[in-house]
A and B are shown apart, each in its own frame.
Chain A
Amino acid sequence: MHRVVVTGLGVVSALGVGREAHFNGLAEGREGIGPISLIDPSRLMIKIAAEARGYVGEDRWDRQQRVLFDRITQFALTATAEAVDQSGIDFASVGERTATIIATAMGGLHTQDENYRLVYEEGKNRVHPFIIPRLMANAPVSQVSMAHGLRGPAWSVATACASSNHAIGQAFQLVRSGAAQAAVTGGTESVLCFGGIKAWEGLRVMSKDGCRPFSKTRNGMVLGEGCAILILERLEDAKARGAEILGEIVGSGATADAADIVAPAVEGAAAAMQIALRDAAMDPSEVGYINAHGTATTLNDKTEAAAIRMALGGRAEDVMVSSTKSMHGHAIGAAGALEAAACLMAMSRGIVPPTIGHEEHDPEIALDVVPNTAREVRVDACLSNAFAFGGLNAVLAFRAWRG
């Protein structure tokens, strides 16, 4: 068994392009949610989203590349380049044994949406030859592995809103067990195309006016998009080459509710947290911060609060719990990766990101949700929760690296 540390992080989110922009947004409590501007919102009922507006694909990739790179692949390549650069890892030597496990819940939805539009609405009988390699869910994984020469185990993971946590959890286990020497992992997603937003509208769980997790005034989720990529290495390898260590992944837990296709269940969520804690040999009293799933739907937040109480017992009354979705929106398959970034920031910089949009205390929640303003405090251990539609729960446990 190897200890597994994070030595690189790259981010694209509504808070900006790059990990520093993401960290700064989280620390400032900045709202990345605003009027939809990337597409014409006139036929949409929901007209707000957390768009990665700072990201302009045309500035980064030439026409030949864009023909093959959906927005999610572009995000993944951008974030991976940043993470690899920070890490300083040399894939010429370890690429042979490096895993690439990158989540996306929906795959290349922009590509799919645009091509359905062409064949159905415009009645075209021919589409571009590269639609399939552009939209397939493993396109980000494959393009990242090709760009960096990563030849170890590689696959994409799709478990709706828990995709990233499942992916990071698997990558962690591959490195811990020795099945891979290093891993490039995280999640990438953009459902912010017309058909994607329309489909989410149909569920009637989206807010028209803002994301207010845990606030009594919450009225639904707000879609986001983005990508975060983590470089995982064995502790001994990272130390041997003098790499900066951003934090340690110490446990993962996953369960299925086996109950409902959309509604969450307290027991399944709590069990995933307990398994992650056990896997990490971490006592609940050690947990300083929980990055909540916190979607701002009535049901999720209430269920999650109860699950945290069930899993952590008395510690639940003191632990800081925030939902950074209030700032970067719900990035679906990328959510857990953007939130792992928030955990790494909390531990390495001593800044706990807030839950913004907090307007009114909800007695059914009654946790320390770090309302509206970030808190400067030392955090030595965190959990990060993700609970997917379909009742699939995945929780990661992190520890700070104090060298």
Chain B
Amino acid sequence: MSDEVHDRVVAIIAEQAMVEPETVTPDTTVEDLGLDSLSLVEVVFGIEEAFDISVPFNANDPTSSDFDIGTVGKIVDGVRQLIAEKA
């Protein structure tokens, strides 16, 4: 599902990973993109600023955070949910 939320999240991730947004698919993982923990913190910050939301992300152990960062698709889903919760 492509929409504004999706496009903006992908743009933020692609910029951080230094790849073209077109190459990023919902199944792309953060490992595929070569994003280390510091880059992920920046992605989360970019998303928070873009959507004025607060993302429950702990860089200590990203996999056990409440926010699933497994794939780009899951990140987009999580952002949608946080926007919905804010509304």
Residues of A within 8 A of B (CB): 45, 202-205, 218-220, 261-263, 297-299
User: Across the interface, do A263 and B58 meet the contact criterion of CB distance under 8 Å?
Assistant: no
**A residues near B36, Cβ cutoff 8 Å:** 263
Give chain B's interface secondary structure class.
loop
Over the window 27-62 of chain B, the binary record of Cβ atoms lying under 8 Å from chain A Cβ atoms (1 yes, 0 no) is 000000000111001001100000000100111110
Interface residues of B in 6-26 (CB under 8 A from A): none
User: Across the interface, do B54 and A204 meet the contact criterion of CB distance under 8 Å?
Assistant: no
Question: Considering the chains assembled together, what is the distance between the CA atoms of A238 and B63 in angstroms?
Answer: 54
**A residues near B59, Cβ cutoff 8 Å:** 203-205
User: Across the interface, do A298 and B57 meet the contact criterion of CB distance under 8 Å?
Assistant: no
* B60 touches which of A45, A202, A220 (Cβ 8 Å): A220
User: Across the interface, do A219 and B38 meet the contact criterion of CB distance under 8 Å?
Assistant: no
Residues of B within 8 A of A (CB): 36-38, 41, 44-45, 54, 57-61
**A residues near B60, Cβ cutoff 8 Å:** 204-205, 218-220, 297-299
Task: State how many angstroms separate the Cβ of A121 from the closest Cβ of chain B.
Answer: 20
Give the residue name and chain of the B residue nearest to A301 (CB): B60
Task: State how many angstroms separate the Cβ of A45 from the closest Cβ of chain B.
Answer: 7
Q: A219-B58, A219-B61, A298-B60 are in contact. Are A202 and B45 (CB under 8 A)?
A: yes
Task: State how many angstroms separate the Cβ of B54 from the closest Cβ of chain A.
Answer: 7
**A residues near B37, Cβ cutoff 8 Å:** 262-263
User: Across the interface, do B38 and A262 meet the contact criterion of CB distance under 8 Å?
Assistant: yes
Question: Considering the chains assembled together, what is the distance between the CA atoms of A324 and B36 in angstroms?
Answer: 30
User: Across the interface, do A45 and B44 meet the contact criterion of CB distance under 8 Å?
Assistant: no
Question: Considering the chains assembled together, what is the distance between the CA atoms of A203 and B54 in angstroms?
Answer: 14
Q: A202-B45, A204-B41, A261-B38 are in contact. Are A220 and B58 (CB under 8 A)?
A: yes
Question: Considering the chains assembled together, what is the distance between the CA atoms of A263 and B40 in angstroms?
Answer: 14
Question: Considering the chains assembled together, what is the distance between the CA atoms of A261 and B36 in angstroms?
Answer: 12
Question: Considering the chains assembled together, what is the distance between the CA atoms of A263 and B39 in angstroms?
Answer: 12
Question: Considering the chains assembled together, what is the distance between the CA atoms of A298 and B36 in angstroms?
Answer: 15
Question: Considering the chains assembled together, what is the distance between the CA atoms of A314 and B38 in angstroms?
Answer: 34
Question: Considering the chains assembled together, what is the distance between the CA atoms of A233 and B44 in angstroms?
Answer: 50
